[in-house]
Amino acid sequence: MADSGSKSAPPRGNLPPLQLHVPEPRFRPGDTVDYSHIDIPPAGAQPRPDETCPASETKPLCVDLIRVLDEDHRAVGPWDPKLDAETLRRMLRTMALTRAFDDRLYRSQRQGKTSFYMKCTGEEATSVASAYALDRQDMVFPSYRQQGVLIARDYPLLEMVNQIYSNRADKLKGRQLPIMYSARDYGFFTISGNLATQFPQAVGWAMASAIKGDTRIATAFIGEGSSAEGDFHAAMTFATVYNAPVVLNVVNNQWAISSFSGFAGAERATFAARAEGYGIAGLRVDGNDALAVYAATRWAADRARANAGPTLIEHFTYRAEGHSTSDDPSAYRSVQERQEWPLGDPIARLMHHLIALGEWSEDQQTAMDRELAEQVKAATKEAEKNGILGHGLHHPFHTMFEDVFEELPWHLEEQAEQAIRERRTKWPEWKEDGETR
pLDDT in tens, 260-316: 999 999 999 999 999 999 999 999 999 999 999 999 999 999 999 999 999 999 999
Q: Is the pLDDT of residue 5 over 80?
A: no
CATH number of the domain that 70 lies in?
A: 3.40.50.970
Residues 264 and 412 in one domain: no
Better-scored residue on pLDDT, 55 or 10: 55
Residues 98 and 216 in one domain: yes
Q: Evaluate whether 221 touches 143 at the Cβ level (below 8 Å).
A: yes
CA angle, residues 156, 158, 162, in degrees to nearest 5: 125
Residues 329 and 420 in one domain: no
CA angle, residues 67, 150, 193, in degrees to nearest 5: 95
Residues 306 and 254 in one domain: yes
Taking the model in full, what pTM does it have? 0.93
Residues 208 and 133 in one domain: yes
What are the pLDDT digits (tens) for 363-377? 999 999 999 999 999
Q: Evaluate whether 275 touches 227 at the Cβ level (below 8 Å).
A: no
pLDDT attached to residue 233: 97
pLDDT band, residue 391 (cuts 50/70/90) = confident
Phi and psi (nearest 5°) for 267?
Answer: -70, -25
Structural domain including 421 reads 397-426
Residue 359 located in a structural domain: yes
Residues 375 and 404 in one domain: no
Residues 404 and 272 in one domain: no
Compute the mean pLDDT over every residue in the chain, rounded to the nearest whole number: 94
Total count of domains within the chain: 2
Q: What is the DSSP letter of 58?
A: G
Residue 192 located in a structural domain: yes
Residues 310 and 422 in one domain: no
Q: What is the mean pLDDT of residues 179-196?
A: 95
Please tell me the number of Cα atoms within 13 Å of 333 on its side-chain side: 27
Phi-psi region of 434 (alpha: psi -120 to 50; beta: other; left: phi over 0): left
d(CA 424, CA 427): 5
Residues 274 and 175 in one domain: yes
Residue 44 located in a structural domain: no
Residues 371 and 415 in one domain: no
Give Cβ neighbours of residue 231 (< 8 Å, ≥ 6 apart).
196, 197, 199, 200
pLDDT attached to residue 430: 67
Residue 61 located in a structural domain: yes
Angle formed by the axes of helices 85-110 and 362-384, nearest 10°: 50
Q: Evaluate whether 322 touches 328 at the Cβ level (below 8 Å).
A: yes
Residues 375 and 417 in one domain: no
